[in-house]
Structure 1
Amino acid sequence: MVTAVALLASTSLLMGRVQQQVRVIGEEAAPQAATAADLYFALSDLDAQVARMLLIRDGGQIDALGTYRERSLQVDADLQRSLTTATGDAERAIVLDLLNQLAVYRQWVWQTLTAQSQGPPQPPGKLPPDALGYYTQATNVLHLELLPTAQRLRDAGEMRLDRAYAGKRSTQVWGVVLTVVLGAGLVVLLLALQVWMARRFRRVLNPALAAATVLTAVLAAAAGLVFVRQAQELGAARDDSLRPYLALSQARALSYDAAADTSRYLISANLPLYRDDFARKSERLVDAVADKQVVDRWLAYERGHEKVVALAGAGRTGAAIDTLTGIRRGDAAFDFSYFDAAVDEIAAGHKRDFDRSLGDTERLLAGWTLIPVLLLGLVILLVPLGVRRRLNEYR
């Protein structure tokens, strides 16, 4: 009976601990990592939309401004969630740094737009000197401060996710070991008790003890299977769904930043820095993405980028801007949207798969803090019931 109580306590408590750790992964650690990845993407697109606003006029500029505001709201929401889910002073300090850097970035952006609107008319793609200076400051803040700080937040989120999985792994190992050892030990003790009573009291079968033995074996096998199965389910969800989703979010952010380099190249009057920067980011992107369809779509945009660069190099800046912002097949904007749609669809699929696996794991664990109490409580009652009739023979 002492062994039965130990099995009850260890199984019920460890199942409860695993359920809590799964909730932490599903409600805190994984959303925090996803939010940090989304923040990095939104910041990258924020600066891409600023470059679009500076290059194009009229309706196109209004569209870029609308997207800029949408990304700004997205950044603010991500920062608010990150501040809420931060687990220590270090993470909160990173979020506060991002808030301060974002305020500086926005100030430079609006100074850029104000200087452009108040300056004399310029040829396509050319900014007034003060507007160009302000924009250079803005994009420097983004690349030298905001994005590196957002990368730190993303790394912190992924580290927390890894710690949550490691903690759950430790709990489930203890759960399997204690369930097998104590369950097998209780079955052996129950069988030994039945053998002893059969020899001592000349009774071959004790129904109560036989039922207790079966219940113990079923509980130990089922609990061990649940410990193992939830580990497999959630581990596969992380490796096959969550990690690819986070990697695609990073690749998507990189693609927006690289696409913005095409615009920055025109704004800066063909500064080679942005052409070289695009080449480096494009190479990283192709290496990071495993899906051939996505890579092919990116390479199509890369060809559009080279066309824009060639037109700008020939002094046809207006034609380069038209190619960059056009929405016809073969224009850079069309090819980029085509690429981005593929990335977004695949990433959304990975996110749905992870959420579905998380839900399956939670349903698998449901009730397992009470099931050991019910079954082993019955075992603890059956043991004295099986022994009582034999002891009564001494009266």
Structure 2
Amino acid sequence: MVAQSGGSPGPRRRGYSRTAGPGPGLRPGERSDEKTVENLTDDFADYQELIGRALENDGHAGGKPAARAGYRKATDLLQGRLLPESRTLVSANDRAFDAEYSAARSTLSAQLAATAALGLLLLAALGILQWYLTRRFHRILNPPLLAATACALLAVVLGAQMLTSSSGNLRGARRDAFDSVVALSRARAIAYDANADESRYLLDPRRREQYAQSFLAKSQKLYGIQRETLDTYDAGLATSWREYRTDRHDLRFTGEFRRELDNIAFPGERAAAEKTVETYAVYQRDDRRIWALLAAGREREAVEFCMDWKPGTSNAHFGAWMAALDKVTDINRAHFTSSVRDGRGAKSGLLPWAGTLLLAAMAFTALGLRPRLAEFR
């Protein structure tokens, strides 16, 4: 029996995630995020079913209108629910990560202040003890106590260095690397949906204006230029990018690419980020070429240019754009990993030394006091 695209998704997929428990990465009790995961799972199942029906209808004689209607429903579900739900989940996880980051930074700051205060008290106590022994026993220097003071001072310095290094690596992982990864990951998701809008534009003439405006809206999220339309976007992009290359503080454009360009922190990152924008500009010009071919009545050429992967086609340029985007993302991911590793290394490398030095300070203090205490016997 041929499935009809006008039917609603069957109940066999509904409720799939209801017994799955909290979603991955969610703490128990975060009901709103858990609900988002459940909705996302159910809606994705519905989306797959709608696409399956559309493909099935497309394979039957006279089934293209039904297939197109089913594809419209799937697209509406994707853009109206699936993508917003996924963005909500990403934002929730990012906020949770940011809260943990802020708490960790606050803890490290408190630990650094406590280390400095306790270190000063310890050094002051050793200094007072040295002064007392000098006055009481008429000895100018007590070598073991001097050694204890040196060990205590070095332990405090190492402890402060460990905490400062951990705080710096934590900030590097979160602000310098992960913030860029989030922006670039959002850009990648938007890019694929925009590329799909090009195909939808060719597939569904009735909705061409809707998909054109959807493509423009996504373009503005990637590289936002005020008051530009599809007809003027390329010129605005070229002008604003030229001004940015002259003055990197120029604020003529916004969007995910701007967030990345304002957060450059690592070697090779700026060149990779700028390459991403330049390949994006090539892809944008391809979109206008598709429009021009359609307007000239050359629909077959427009479809081939849009869908083919031969060099010089829109998909080939899209692939080059994604390769450039992946490169700058990988730079930030690598530095995120190295910052986490360095932070752990600082703790495991310096903490044992600081502890050993404190034990040595205690031993030297006891050694320095022992002869003086013996004089009271």
State the TM-score bracket (shorter-chain normalisation).
0.7 to 0.9
CA distance in 2, matches of 1:260, 1:198: 83
- The one-letter amino acid paired with 2:290 is V
1:11-57 Cα offsets, whole Å, 9 max, x none, are xxxxxxxxxxxxxxxxxxxxxxxxxxxxxxxxxxxxxxxxxxxxxxx
Greater relative contact order (Cα 8 A, min sep 6): structure 1 or 2? 1
Letter in 2 for 1:278: F
- Is the Cα contact below 8 Å between 1:212 and 1:382 reproduced in 2? yes
Change (3 A) 1:292 1:385: closer
Where does the alignment leave 5 or more consecutive residues of structure 1 unmatched? 1-79, 121-126
Q: Is the 8 A contact 2:283 2:314 kept in 1?
A: yes
Q: How does 1:344-363 map to 2 (within 5 A)?
A: 344-363=326-345
Q: Are 2:214 and 1:277 equivalent residues in the alignment?
A: yes
**How far apart are the structure 2 equivalents of 1:333 and 1:84?**
34
Distance 1:278 1:150 in 2: 19
Q: Specify the code of the residue in structure 2 equivalent to 1:272.
A: E
| Correspondence for 1:338 | 320
The DSSP-based 3-state class of the residue aligned with 1:83 is: coil
Please state if 1:244 is matched with 2:180. Answer: yes
Give the conservation status (yes or no) of the 8 Å contact 1:304–1:330.
Answer: no
Normalising by structure 2, we get a TM-score of: 0.77
Cα distance in 1, alignment partners of residues 89 and 35 from structure 2: 10
Where does 1:46-65 land on structure 2 (aligned, <5 Å)?
A: none
- Is 1:87 aligned to 2:27, yes or no? yes
Q: Distance in 2 between matches of 1:317 and 1:329?
A: 20
Correspondence for 1:18: none
1:306 aligned counterpart, secondary structure: helix
Structure 2 residue runs of 5 or longer lacking an equivalent are: 1-19, 224-253, 262-272
The corresponding residue for 1:383 is 365
Residue type at the aligned position of 1:149: E
Structure 1 counterpart of 2:44 = 102
Between the two proteins, the alignment pairs up a number of residues equal to 309
- Per the TM alignment, residue 101 of structure 1 is displaced from its structure 2 partner at its CA by 0.9
Alignment partner, residue 71 of structure 1: none
Letter in 2 for 1:114: E
Residues in 2 aligned to 1:206 and 1:323: alpha-carbon distance in whole angstroms = 86
What is the CA-CA distance between 1:340 and the residue it aligns to?
A: 1.1
CA-CA distance at 1:347 after TM superposition? 0.9
Greater mean deviation of Cα atoms: 167-176 or 84-93: 84-93
Paired residue for 1:217?
153
Q: Where does residue 55 of structure 2 map in the other structure?
A: 113
How far residue 207 of structure 1 moved from its aligned partner, in angstroms, is 2.0
**What residue is the counterpart of 2:16 in the other structure?**
none
CA distance in 2, matches of 1:293, 1:384: 64
User: Residue in 2 aligned with 1:8?
Assistant: none
Q: Counterparts of 1:232 and 1:367 in 2: how far apart (Å)?
A: 16
Structure 2: how far apart are the matches of 1:265 and 1:84?
36
> Which residue of structure 1 lines up, in the alignment, with residue 295 of structure 2?
313
Q: Secondary structure at the match of 2:23?
A: helix
Inter-partner Cα distance in structure 1 for 2:101 and 2:335: 18
The whole-number CA distance in structure 1 between the counterparts of 2:359 and 2:275 is 58
- Distance in 1 between the 2:93 and 2:120 partners? 40
Distance 2:221 2:109 in 1: 38
In 2, the alpha carbon distance for the partners of 1:223 and 1:369 equals 7
Q: Deviations over 1:347-395 (max 9, x none)?
A: 1121112111211111111155544443323333333332221121123
Matched with 2:125 is 189
Determine the C-alpha separation between the residues in 2 that align with 1:224 and 1:292: 38
Counterpart CA distance in 2 for 1:213 and 1:368 is 19
More helix, by proportion: 1
Give the Cα separation in 2 of the matches to 1:258 and 1:115: 25
User: Take 1:171 and 1:133, find their aligned partners in 2: how far apart are those partners?
Assistant: 56
Distance 1:386 1:296, change over 3 A: same
RMSD over aligned Cα atoms: 1.9
**2-structure distance, mates of 1:86, 1:260:** 31
Task: Tell me the amino acid that sits aligned with residue 338 of structure 1.
Answer: A
Give TM-score, length-normalised by structure 1: 0.74
**Which SS does the other structure have where 1:189 is aligned?**
helix
Percent of matched pairs sharing the same residue: 29
Q: 2: CA distance between counterparts of 1:119 and 1:375? A: 83
Report the alpha carbon displacement of residue 158 of structure 1 after superposing the two structures with TM: 0.8
Q: Is the 8 A contact 1:294 1:339 kept in 2?
A: yes
User: Which residue in the other structure is 1:149 paired with?
Assistant: 85
